[in-house]
Amino acid sequence: MMKNNGAKQGGVGRKEKSPTPRNKNLHADESRDPYLNEQPEGEPARCSVCGNIYANKRWYRADQYELEEGENALNFTCPGCRKVKDNYYYGELRVSGTFAQEHHGDISGLIQNEVHRRQEKNPLSKLVEVEIDRGKKPEIVFHTTNGKLAENIGRALKNAFGGELTIKKPKPLTRVYWSRK
Ligand SMILES: [Zn+2]
């Protein structure tokens, strides 16, 4: 699998030329997300990685659903965690600017909160990977399991800290750029 980050290999980060996802596995349009086709064959089921619960034909965040006492849950890795494992993403958020470098802690905190909040509606929303792209213009790159999550995080950053937000949706990837000097 291709990693998209020159920094990890000690090379020089490069600017992307096309909106083509670098992840070779990423091919299906998000409306036909292949990971959602695979669901547990029985209920309830619990994700062995994050604790999400599958019941009533949907996923709940671990703290949103309580199993009855003595109730056994099937073991199943939820589609969100499978995407994380496979490095399969539909959203990319690139954060740049000196503000981000100086307020790294605030920004990470806000992003974690936003992910947690969004998981109430969609427990399969997760950060897939966080990388530093040390190109000419250093960026922190966040990959997200769904495009909406990248968009929501971008809007939350803009609401909290101002700056400039750009959202592009070249299928199948949603690309979000947030920057503040
Ligand atoms: Zn999970």
Distance 104 CA to ligand 1 centre (A): 27
What's the CATH code, domain 84-179? 3.30.70
Residues 6+ apart with CB under 8 A from 33: 79, 90, 146
Q: What is the pLDDT of residue 171?
A: 86
Per the DSSP assignment, residues forming a β-bridge with 139 are 96, 133
Could you check whether the bond before residue 170 is cis, i.e. omega within 30 degrees of 0? no
What pTM value is reported for the model?
0.83
Judged by DSSP in three states, 28 sits in coil
Distance 179 CA to ligand 1 centre (A): 31
Distance 51 CA to ligand 1 centre (A): 6
Residues 6+ apart with CB under 8 A from 8: 131
Q: What is the pLDDT of residue 135?
A: 86
Distance 5 CA to ligand 1 centre (A): 25
Domain positions in the chain are 30-78, 84-179
Q: What is the pLDDT of residue 8?
A: 38
Tens place of pLDDT for every residue, the chain, 181 residues? 344 443 333 333 334 443 444 554 556 889 889 999 999 999 999 999 999 999 999 999 999 999 999 899 999 999 999 999 999 999 999 999 999 989 999 999 999 999 999 999 999 999 999 999 998 889 999 999 999 999 999 999 999 999 999 999 988 999 999 999 9
